[in-house]
Structures are given as structure tokens and as C-alpha cells.
Amino acid sequence: MKLAKEIITSKDSKIGVMKLVSDGGPMTLTLSLIHEMCDILKEFTVDQEIRAGIISGPDGDFLCRAGSRCYFKFLC
């Protein structure tokens, strides 16, 4: 698995999107991938113009948003 990061600009704010993408291998969260996710979430937190952060799966399903009580928050 790998990560794709995108900033979407809406009318008056920005949304940070982090998507888990299949690289042809097993869909597992490795320690290095979790560290990369934490770095991206920290970037989303530092940018004051980003109003929301979303983590989505390979099929586009919503996993959690930055600031919610998802397990990624406690790993960072």
C-alpha cells in the first residue's frame, strides 16, 4: 500500500485528503506507512487554511477525518 495526498480548495477553505492506494501488494499498514500518515496529518494540522482532513480507502470509502477519535490520531 502507498499513500496519495491531495489538497482540495473549496469556496472558502481547503480540505486535506489522504488516500490509501494499492500498489499491487497486500493491503496492510506497515510501521513506515503509519509514520508517513502521521507526517501528512501533521501537515494538515499546521496549515491553518485546511478545515478538514480525510483518510479514505482504496475504493474511496471514508475511514476517518483528522481530529476525530480514529486510531490514527493516537499513533501520531
CATH architecture group of domain 2-75 = Alpha-Beta Complex (3.90)
Q: Give the pLDDT confidence of 16-32 residue by residue, as tens digits.
A: 888 887 777 777 778 88
The pLDDT, as a whole number, for residue 7 is 86
Sorted by where each begins, the domain ranges of the chain are: 2-75
Write the CA distances from 18 to 56, 73, integer angstroms: 6, 14
Quickly state the pLDDT bin for 72 (edges 50, 70, 90).
very low
Mean pLDDT taken over the chain: 73
Query: What DSSP letter does each residue of 11-43 carry, written as one string?
Result: SS-EEEEEEEE--SS-----HHHHHHHHHHHHH
Q: Give the pLDDT confidence of 31-67 residue by residue, as tens digits.
A: 888 888 888 888 887 877 877 777 777 666 655 555 4
